[in-house]
Amino acid sequence: MGDATVMEKLVSLAKRRGFVFQSSEIYGGLGSVWDYGPLGVELKKNLRERWWRSMVHGREDIEGIDAAILMHPRVWEASGHVAGFTDPLTDCRQCKHRFRADDPRLKGTPGEPDAQCPVCGSRGTLTAPRLFNLMFKTFIGPVEEAAAVVYLRPETAQGIYVNYLNVLQSSRQKVPFGIAQVGKAFRNEITPGNFIFRTREFEQMEMQFFVKPGEDERWFEYWRAERLAWHGAMGITETKLRLHQHTAEELAHYAKAAFDIQYEFPFGWQEFEGIHNRTDFDLRRHQEHSGKKLEYVDTGSGERFVPYIVETSLGLDRLLLVVLVDAYREEVVEGDTRVVLRLHPAVAPIKAGVFPLVKKDGMPEVARNVFDDLRRRMPVFYDESGSIGRRYRRQDEAGTPFGITVDGQTVQERTVTVRDRDTLAQDRVGLDHVASYLRERLER
């Protein structure tokens, strides 16, 4: 399979099976904005919950919050986003296309007579680069004037920094401790693309870990290793994961050091999580701009300091793309090619399909009873239409890890077969033990 083909097939499967749809599709779609369908919303929820369980519930030293998307506009002055969250842009005066000035397709230097537009091929028509801020602006209240401008947050992190004292005082945490948040972020990306890889509206799962200055490098290493291991534990192919250390040119304005966790997508190695040592940059800037002291006082030693911050920042939509790409397989089974999503059972949208072998001899009634019992405990799907082979294939494509079939033996022996999506092995399980059997396999 060529790499372009894998992405095309995945986009098509995502739409056909209800993982991801183009936003406002009946109106021709909206550029780089996507909607999640019935299977996509479950997969996304499972990934979000898995992150939350490991980062918040599983730890005594991290608290969760949910800050608003709209924030005081001065937050973005303090954070450096008003001045510095920009991309250089160039326009072709001939065909009106717009590009990032560092777009590798451009030939020559934009603004110079020899520069060539990659779309219409004209020379000398590309404007000199201008800086373009990626934040979406809107207005608060009924008047559209400069004083009423607010931004849609371009990262969730700032909602954590401005609440750092609130959380510290209300939770009785002590440094080192972290604050985690999951929420929407917005960027008016100039060159979005590659399906849900780079979009204008996306969800981030961020954790900011507050540490004593001098201990930041140790925690930075700790979180880098933890986060990489987390992806491995979800079964992401280890050879397709790697760390990339930022060079001085790549470092964001707030970071002293940074690592990307990259995945080898069909379109190349790309970041999907960032680990940043943000130093005391953010808290100091908020301290200066708000006039409010954001120091930490060590109750034992009486020492005062502005904590350093180690950040882990994971894009939920991008993680979902990693999970889908990594799970996608085409396999030949008994002479037929099947498409299967080998999703980790814990994040699979549907845990089991329930099928009567045939629509007679009391099998549908027993299968519906099994289905009704299971659906109270986990997402399951009942299907009695088409051959049993086709029903298995439909669930393989949806990434459903188990297929439960009620057959002739069920009625006599009170057992069903449970088919494993990946090994295709079939176990016979007592009717009364189906739920506990699945629970045990899902938790492995």
Q: Report the interface residues with ligand GAP, using CB under 6 A.
A: 155, 157, 187, 189, 198-199, 202, 204, 206, 271-274, 311, 313-315, 317-318
Closest CA to 274 of 208, 324, 215, 212: 208
- In the complex, what is the shortest distance from the CB of residue 301 to ligand GAP, in angstroms, rounded to a whole number? 31
- In the complex, what is the shortest distance from the CB of residue 259 to ligand GAP, in angstroms, rounded to a whole number? 11
Closer residue to ligand GAP, CB minimum distance, 221 or 271: 271
Residue 179, token pair as written in the block: 């604050």
Which residue has 């549908």 as its token pair? 364
- In the complex, what is the shortest distance from the CB of residue 276 to ligand GAP, in angstroms, rounded to a whole number? 6
Q: Residue 182: phi, psi to the nearest 5?
A: -120, 130
Closest CA to 384 of 411, 418, 354, 426: 354
- In the complex, what is the shortest distance from the CB of residue 40 to ligand GAP, in angstroms, rounded to a whole number? 15
* Nearest residue to ligand GAP, by Cβ distance, number only: 315
Strand runs (DSSP E) across 213-307, as ranges? Answer: 241-245, 257-265, 268-279, 296-297, 304-305
Closer residue to ligand GAP, CB minimum distance, 49 or 201: 201
Closer residue to ligand GAP, CB minimum distance, 34 or 402: 34
Closer residue to ligand GAP, CB minimum distance, 102 or 298: 102
Residue 18, token pair as written in the block: 């209800």
Closer residue to ligand GAP, CB minimum distance, 247 or 423: 247
- In the complex, what is the shortest distance from the CB of residue 272 to ligand GAP, in angstroms, rounded to a whole number? 5
| Tally of helices (H runs) and strands (E runs) in the chain | 13, 23
What DSSP state is assigned to residue 341? E
Which positions ≥6 away from 95 have C-beta within 8 Å?
Answer: 117, 119, 120, 122, 125
Closer residue to ligand GAP, CB minimum distance, 279 or 313: 313
Closer residue to ligand GAP, CB minimum distance, 161 or 355: 161
Closest CA to 62 of 173, 142, 188: 173
Strand runs (DSSP E) across 280-410, as ranges? Answer: 296-297, 304-305, 308-315, 328-333, 336-341, 352-356, 380-382, 402-406
- Decide: 159 and 181 in contact? Cβ < 8 Å: yes
- In the complex, what is the shortest distance from the CB of residue 435 to ligand GAP, in angstroms, rounded to a whole number? 36
- In the complex, what is the shortest distance from the CB of residue 241 to ligand GAP, in angstroms, rounded to a whole number? 13
